[in-house]
Amino acid sequence: MPTIAVDAMGGDFAPEAVAVDLHPAYVSTQHGEGLRLPLHRVQHHMAHVASCAAENELEPPLLGVAWDGTGYGLDGTVWGGEFLAWRDGRFDWVGGFADFPLLGAEMAMKEPRRIALALLHGVYGAEAFDLDFLPTLQAITAQERDTFAKVLKAEKAPRCRSVGRLFDGVASLLGLRQRMSFEGQAAMAVEFTASGEEKPYSFVLKTKSKPKTLIHWEPIVQGIVEDIKSGVPRHAIAARFHATLAEVIVKVAHEVGEHRVALSGGCFQNALLAHLAGERLEAEGFRPYFHQRVPPNDGGLSLGQIVVAAEAMRRG
């Protein structure tokens, strides 16, 4: 959102600049563009990291982990599973999840079954439609199967690499939620289902050009499907998924090599994920930082936008 400063005594004063999200379609961005002030467009996940850093009074260098549902990325995809190194006043993308299709675009963000089917198709191809023991397939009609198969084969759906959407997909696979009435509903179901200590699923890190790392989710999905087929309880699968995400953070942190790790974004409203990530980071010698007073979700973006814009102004 655009940020208008108000002084400590409650009186308005004329702002020198305005900071907005990078997404051009946001009403707040369009409002900021109309203010006729120097404009600073701040990428969504960079603002998340800067917000956490500011709350914890951190200066660069550090590694930021920004996980949420959606955010306008720099490469034309929907971001939400990012690792960002903040050094010398600038952010560098150093890692993230491999992308997957948003089957039905905006509809996919309301129907976890679409996310799950896209993930299954990424692992099993056309044979994904034969996995009738999965709740996801049971929630799709015969007519929808034909339509979805054509869309996935054509590869025309927008791409996404959001951890929030991965949570949605897992909720569908476990039969917890096939449609949502509000953002985060499916992810909350996965969190509240998880119980017990479980080992993480396998996953693959591929270094594109060090330290830029892609996390491949396909082994995670395959492991979940195999557990469901074997009759593993849902609470154990959900717990394994959380443990896997915590382990992903640790592995990428080792790749990047920054001691301090700031974790932000709506996914870290998940108390279990935050606990496991913090515990594993500390065990591996890192220093994790979380939000305490500023919301980790989009409610904290304005603070991050201020920090990034102020740094840009300072550097001219």
For residues 184 and 69, is the Cβ–Cβ distance under 8 A? yes
For residues 60 and 67, is the Cβ–Cβ distance under 8 A? no
- Positive or negative torsion for Cα 144, 149, 154, 159: positive
Please report the pLDDT score of residue 3 as a whole number.
47
| Every domain of the chain and the residues it spans | 100-289
C-beta neighbour count of 89 within 10 angstroms: 12
Please report the pLDDT score of residue 187 as a whole number.
98
Please report the pLDDT score of residue 315 as a whole number.
84
pLDDT tens series, the chain, 316 aa: 444 443 444 556 678 899 999 988 889 899 998 998 999 999 999 999 999 999 999 999 999 999 999 999 998 889 999 999 999 889 999 999 999 999 999 999 999 999 999 999 999 999 999 999 999 999 999 999 999 999 999 998 999 999 999 999 999 999 999 999 999 999 999 999 999 999 999 999 998 766 689 999 999 999 999 999 999 999 999 999 999 999 999 999 999 999 999 999 999 999 999 999 999 999 999 999 999 999 999 999 999 999 999 998 988 7
* Alpha helix stretches (DSSP H) within 27-162: 27-33, 44-55, 112-124, 135-138, 142-154
For residues 308 and 50, is the Cβ–Cβ distance under 8 A? yes
For 174-202, the pLDDT digits (tens) are 999 999 999 999 999 999 999 999 999 99
Q: In the CATH hierarchy, which fold is given to the domain comprising 100-289?
A: Nucleotidyltransferase; domain 5 (3.30.420)
For 48-69, the pLDDT digits (tens) are 999 999 999 999 999 999 999 9
Please report the pLDDT score of residue 131 as a whole number.
98
C-beta neighbour count of 227 within 10 angstroms: 20
